[in-house]
Structure 1
Amino acid sequence: MENLFKTSTKINDLLENIGQILDITQAQHETVEKRYTAVANQLSQEGSLLSLYQPEILPQGSFLLGTMIRPIMEDDELDVDLVCRLKGKKSDWVQKNLKDAVRDQLLYNNEDYKRMLDEEGNRCWTLIYSCDKFHLDILPAMIGNNNHVNLDEKSFRNLSPSDLENISLRITDKREYNYTTETNPNYWLKSNPFGYAAWFKERSNINQLKRVLASESVTPLPGYKKSKEPLLRIIQILKRHRDIMFGGDEHKPISVIITTLAAKAYQKEANIIQGLVNILETMQLHMRRIYSEKHGREIWYIENPVNAEENFGDKWPGEPEKEDKFFEWLEKAKSDFRALTEMDPSQAYRLLKNILGTRPVNEAVRNLGYDELITENLKPANYSPQLLSVSHREQPRWRMSLSYNCEIYGRFKDITDYKKSKSITAQSVLPKGCEIYFTATTNVPKPYDVFWQVVNTGAEAENSYLGRRGGIFSAQTLGKGGLVQKEHSGYTGTHWIECFIVKDGVCVARSSEFFVNIR
């Protein structure tokens, strides 16, 4: 195994920087914090019904853990999970009463929240901040009747089961059979986001001399951190790998499963690529098969580390696609990140673009000054990594499994000598008004579908209604089953074209960017 991890420092530096780029920005963090503080003030207004029960708005999930990542498309919304934690309730309130009370106080004399409130979720109320491009999912919850929060200065490893129970919550869920009947919260669903956060902080801590206090996760208000522990970066990278592979597929592996298994498998590696490979190789060891009387067969059990009764894979038996997609992702991630350890940095750069997305990888290259890694075919003299990171460039919508090759060649016909076509090279400068023919070659066995992407840059294209192209489109019928694409040189600037070969809904080959300079 020792030789396996003699990988370039540049690759590890790239992964660390990619993790930073995938993270939400300080401005986004501060905006979210400002918005949920305003929600807390609304819910705890003096004299209100809820004020009697000392409501607190606290982050949970990836925002609390520090593993949140920005969406692939800049226009997509961030999803921020919050808890509205109450320290009591009316004796006759059932889950529905408590949930409705949170909504009523949220909307009381607040026209903005009335406009922003989404349809009721199973557990949460959601406020949509369209201008800020995120939404807050607010989970009404309360401390159980006999629970209290008093952890003193204990570290997570010293917490007893009763300590964990003391920081657990009872939550509302309209799918529960007793949603409208049970007044005793000890019979409501239990959740423990703060116990989970304490466990996660203990797992991610690489300073063996530092005690991680569980109390830090009970009343959390996490500040923005640019520098993060290796485990957090590893999880951010794994989540982006999943998103690139499956896009918006509703059956893709959920974040809590990836986070939990990665944290259980983590062995305090400081090197990110080594940590990635080790985690992926041992992740499945932290899942177990158990016999389920409910299902009459063995099922996978992914245990919540702070609640042994909760199986994070509980939906798999009823939705086998979720189980299939998890193992499909795990095998692909193993293959991809192990391959990185055997590549030189330039090869790794190409692979990282395909499995983590062009924009964060190129931005990391630019931040680190590693421009020599860029290997795009026919790279123009005025090339910069920032060129490929334009916001209107659509990300591929398919799962990527690049097991075949695809290359592009280009020729153009100059208006001054229309009868002859000329090859396009890195030094070619095309005038406006040319016809351009791009031909793709591939070793993918038929049948397959061909898609192209043309990205225009420069002021002329930006200022033209039709010129700002960046979308992926299905090939037309121009020769060779769609492997020939005709274009015109209409706008001054540096532009490029890519070709994607898709078989059975999976992208199995992808060309490099083929650049065209028009002056």
Structure 2
Amino acid sequence: MKLLAYFSAFLKNAVNLNQTRLNQLDDRVAAIVSALRADQQLGELYHDHVPQGSWAHRTIIKPFNGHEFDADFLLHLQEVDGWSPRDYLREVRAAFKRSSTYKTMVTKKNRCCRIVYAGDCHVDVVPYLVLADGREVIVNYAANEFEETNPQGFTDWMKEKDDLANGNLRRVIRLLKYLRDYKQTFTVPSVILTTLLGERVQTWHEQARYSDTPTALKSLLDDLAAWLDLYPTMPTLPDPSCPGTTFNHRWDQDQYANFRNKIKLYSGWVTEAYEHEDKTQSLAAWQRVFGTAFQPPTTTEAALAKAATIQPIRESRAPHEQYIEDFGFVWKGGRSVRINAEVLPKGGFRHGSLRRLRRVSPLQSLQFTINTDVPEPYDLYWKVRNRGSEAADAGQLRGEIVLDKKRTRTRRESTSWRGRHYVEVYIVKDRMILATDHHDVAIA
């Protein structure tokens, strides 16, 4: 059984970090930034600070059994001629050491300076630069190198996936982080867990597959277990927002293999709990997954959960729009595909990865390509859907699904109408859909 009110109470009481502590985190970060800006040597290099990771994605969970929770933010500094990558981390640490408040709280890590609030949380301050050549980078102290990053692009990507999952991707990530900390049978960095789950969100019957939290949990674990089953050896784990950057250095084969086995095990447990028709048996099965903190809700909690339950509704179909479900294909999943969008050079306008640029001007050209682990041969279908009053007034909402007959695996589009549009791809083999992807296109 779904036990929706139970999940609502479990998230509220055992998993989600409460608002008081989130407010305290905001205050602590503001105080850290204030101290760094006031430092006579580092302060003049300060440009901005940007939440990242679980804090930015709203997937922070309560610390388990007295452990600390953590939050990261990027400290945007100006580039300094002659400084090596290590110098930026050294100077941030030196600024903390000059502070009467933070000198005993700071620890230098490989990519950040950590401020520890003993027994509660730690805040990782990550030096971040936009270099003269336009690259966004953080520091790898051990290698004395810059690593490319795209924090806002990753957050945007995660939000796209969460929107497709009707807001349930964030909840599932929190639940699996809780499972990781509670069971202590596997380890996985949060950024990798977010990536692996986000990539499993598919544009196939999404209103049903992600209609509520337990259904989304089951669907995403099913698809993740199927994908992991294809790879006994850790595959390349690319950053979805930063072409050419991977997360493999944050994990190793033994950790990956153990994670793979445990996800298969826990996916089976979740399916068993979900499919039990007897409420008592279902509760026992859910407690097998999450422990005895997964408790019946109070009468008030149950009433609030029922009142808050909203059935997902797909946006109104455009006049010529098609959905891939209309084609009579069968969902199989288990594979992955990723859309790469490039703004092509034209007339001096910004160009490059759309994930980096975030938005594009009208009258520009876009090229979409795909990366997939589906072996040839397969059929590829494209969908371009416009939104907004300009496209509607021009009768150009589009939404037709078209076969890539020439098998170019690419598509060119022009940016004609302002609004937040999207492109989707579907990979079909033997009339089974193996993978899909979705890419927002914001035309400013």
| Bin of the TM-score, shorter chain as denominator length | 0.5 to 0.7
Counterpart in the other structure of 1:193: 151
User: CA-atom RMSD, angstroms?
Assistant: 2.7
Question: Which residue of the other structure, out of 192, 201, 204, is the alignment partner of 1:266?
Answer: 201
- Post-superposition offset of 1:199: 0.6
Is 2:126 the counterpart of 1:143? no
Distance across 1 between alignment mates of 2:116 and 2:36: 17
Counterpart in the other structure of 1:173: 140
What percentage of residue pairs aligned between the two structures are identical?
A: 21
Where structure 1 has 5 or more consecutive residues not aligned to the other structure, the ranges are 1-6, 148-164, 180-186, 208-227, 291-296, 371-519
- Post-superposition offset of 1:368: 3.0
Structure-to-structure mapping, 1:119-268, within 5 angstroms:
120-130=108-118, 133-147=120-134, 169-176=136-143, 179=144, 188-206=146-164, 229-246=167-184, 252-267=187-202, 268=206
- State whether residues 57 and 155 of structure 2, in contact with CA within 8 Å, keep that contact through their aligned partners in structure 1: yes
Distance across 2 between alignment mates of 1:117 and 1:107: 7
- State whether residues 225 and 267 of structure 2, in contact with CA within 8 Å, keep that contact through their aligned partners in structure 1: no
Q: Which of the pair has the greater relative contact order for Cα pairs under 8 Å at 6+ separation?
A: 2
Distance across 1 between alignment mates of 2:20 and 2:96: 25
Distance across 2 between alignment mates of 1:229 and 1:78: 23
Q: Partner of 2:17: helix, strand, or coil? A: coil
Distance across 1 between alignment mates of 2:140 and 2:54: 21
- State whether residues 43 and 55 of structure 1, in contact with CA within 8 Å, keep that contact through their aligned partners in structure 2: no
Is 2:292 the counterpart of 1:358? yes
Distance across 2 between alignment mates of 1:367 and 1:139: 42
CA deviation string 1:248-294 (max 9, x = no partner)? xxx6222222211211212441222221121112225666989xxxx
Letter in 1 for 2:282: A
Distance across 1 between alignment mates of 2:217 and 2:233: 29
Distance across 1 between alignment mates of 2:267 and 2:97: 48
CA deviation string 1:97-132 (max 9, x = no partner)? 211221222333x222012123x211111111126x
Is 2:35 the counterpart of 1:35? no
Counterpart in the other structure of 2:100: 111
Q: Partner of 1:29: helix, strand, or coil? A: helix
- State whether residues 287 and 301 of structure 1, in contact with CA within 8 Å, keep that contact through their aligned partners in structure 2: no
Check 1:364–1:57 CA distance in 2 against 1; reply closer, same or farther (3 A cut): farther
Check 1:320–1:366 CA distance in 2 against 1; reply closer, same or farther (3 A cut): farther
Check 1:340–1:121 CA distance in 2 against 1; reply closer, same or farther (3 A cut): same
Check 1:92–1:62 CA distance in 2 against 1; reply closer, same or farther (3 A cut): same
- Post-superposition offset of 1:19: 2.3
Check 1:252–1:330 CA distance in 2 against 1; reply closer, same or farther (3 A cut): same
Distance across 2 between alignment mates of 1:198 and 1:326: 26
Distance across 1 between alignment mates of 2:263 and 2:229: 16
- State whether residues 234 and 257 of structure 2, in contact with CA within 8 Å, keep that contact through their aligned partners in structure 1: no
Is 2:15 the counterpart of 1:18? no
Distance across 2 between alignment mates of 1:72 and 1:299: 28
- State whether residues 241 and 333 of structure 1, in contact with CA within 8 Å, keep that contact through their aligned partners in structure 2: no
- Post-superposition offset of 1:140: 1.3
- Post-superposition offset of 1:143: 1.3
Distance across 2 between alignment mates of 1:280 and 1:298: 19
Is 2:278 the counterpart of 1:342? no
Distance across 2 between alignment mates of 1:146 and 1:298: 36
Question: Which residue of the other structure, out of 247, 255, 259, is the alignment partner of 1:312?
Answer: 247
Question: Which residue of the other structure, out of 67, 80, 85, is the alignment partner of 1:76?
Answer: 67
- Post-superposition offset of 1:68: 1.0
Counterpart in the other structure of 1:329: 262
- State whether residues 189 and 250 of structure 2, in contact with CA within 8 Å, keep that contact through their aligned partners in structure 1: no
CA deviation string 1:187-213 (max 9, x = no partner)? 621122221001101111149xxxxxx
Distance across 2 between alignment mates of 1:140 and 1:231: 29
Is 2:56 the counterpart of 1:56? no
- Post-superposition offset of 1:137: 1.1
Counting matched residue pairs gives: 295
- Post-superposition offset of 1:334: 1.0
Distance across 2 between alignment mates of 1:106 and 1:62: 24
Distance across 2 between alignment mates of 1:312 and 1:285: 21
Distance across 1 between alignment mates of 2:240 and 2:228: 12
- State whether residues 229 and 260 of structure 2, in contact with CA within 8 Å, keep that contact through their aligned partners in structure 1: no
Counterpart in the other structure of 1:393: none
Structure-to-structure mapping, 1:455-494, within 5 angstroms:
none
Counterpart in the other structure of 1:373: none
Check 1:200–1:98 CA distance in 2 against 1; reply closer, same or farther (3 A cut): same
Distance across 2 between alignment mates of 1:90 and 1:286: 44
Distance across 2 between alignment mates of 1:345 and 1:259: 31
- State whether residues 196 and 224 of structure 2, in contact with CA within 8 Å, keep that contact through their aligned partners in structure 1: yes
- State whether residues 42 and 92 of structure 2, in contact with CA within 8 Å, keep that contact through their aligned partners in structure 1: yes
Shift >6 Å, 4+ stretches = 287-290
Check 1:339–1:288 CA distance in 2 against 1; reply closer, same or farther (3 A cut): closer
Where structure 2 has 5 or more consecutive residues not aligned to the other structure, the ranges are 304-444
